[in-house]
Amino acid sequence: MARKYTWLVLVGLIVVGIVAVRLALRGGGSLPVGQESPQAVLRKLQRALAEGDKAKFLECFATRSEHHADAIAALFDRAQAAARLRTALREAYGKDAWDAFVSCQAKRSEFLAFVWPREEEVAATAKIAVKGNEAQAELPSGRGLLALKLEGVWRVEMFPHGSGVRERREALARAAAALDQARARIGQEGVTPESLAQEVNKPLGGEP
């Protein structure tokens, strides 16, 4: 009898361990707040970007491994670098400077995907189609599509399985560095939004 109960305890511990690991990979043991719908996730994402809150940003994404989490963190850094560049370009060259820079990007929608403006409500203008536990959000202003999945709460499914997550993280890190380098060159002789765009196009072209 004692042996039977020992096996039951072991099985129980294994089940608990599996659940704990799955919860950890999905962002922790407790479910994050503010993600009860696809629209709510988009609102939370925009607030996190505007406030520079990386922890809140990470909560909005499905993370299957440590590599996934690192890639999402790199995505946040890249988005913040682009936002800093946008502000600096407009201050130095006028309100149309950012649009001129973006127009020279080889992958415009991917470049803009997480460079979200503070002055408009992305969640309100996104076209969201829900099918069961999955959804697809078409972001405004040519920012492309986002896949979302319901796993207790809604999360953005950014890097599906087998999608070269480590390589994407490295590409995002290179892009963030290139954007910060471009910002440092603003105001130098002969530098324009278009010339800066050409300088960073190669590293940005390696982004996911």
Tell me how far apart the alpha carbons of residues 205 and 162 are, in angstroms, rounded to a whole number: 21
Q: Nearest-5° angle of CA 21, CA 26, CA 28?
A: 70
Three-state secondary structure along 46-67? HHHHHHCCHHHHHHCECCCCHH
Amino acid in the structure at residue 145: L
CB atoms within 10 A of CB 64: 15
Closest of 71, 100, 74, 106 to residue 85, by C-alpha: 100
DSSP 159: S
CA distances (Å), 109 to each of 7, 72, 102, in order? Answer: 55, 18, 10
Q: Please check whether residue 118 is in contact with residue 50, taking contact to mean a CB–CB distance below 8 angstroms.
A: yes
Q: How confident is the model at residue 23 (pLDDT cuts 50, 70, 90)?
A: very low
Q: What pLDDT was estimated at residue 22?
A: 46
Average pLDDT score over residue span 129-153: 90
Tell me how far apart the alpha carbons of residues 9 and 155 are, in angstroms, rounded to a whole number: 34
* Residue carrying structure tokens 């408009």: 120
Q: What pLDDT was estimated at residue 85?
A: 95
Q: Which sign, positive or negative, has the C-alpha torsion 20, 67, 50, 45?
A: negative
User: Three-class SS of residue 198?
Assistant: helix
pLDDT at 68 over 80: yes
User: Three-class SS of residue 102?
Assistant: helix
pLDDT at 6 over 70: no
pLDDT tens-digit map of 123-137: 888 999 999 999 999
Q: Please check whether residue 204 is in contact with residue 106, taking contact to mean a CB–CB distance below 8 angstroms.
A: yes
pLDDT tens-digit map of 69-112: 999 999 999 999 999 999 999 999 999 999 999 999 888 888 88
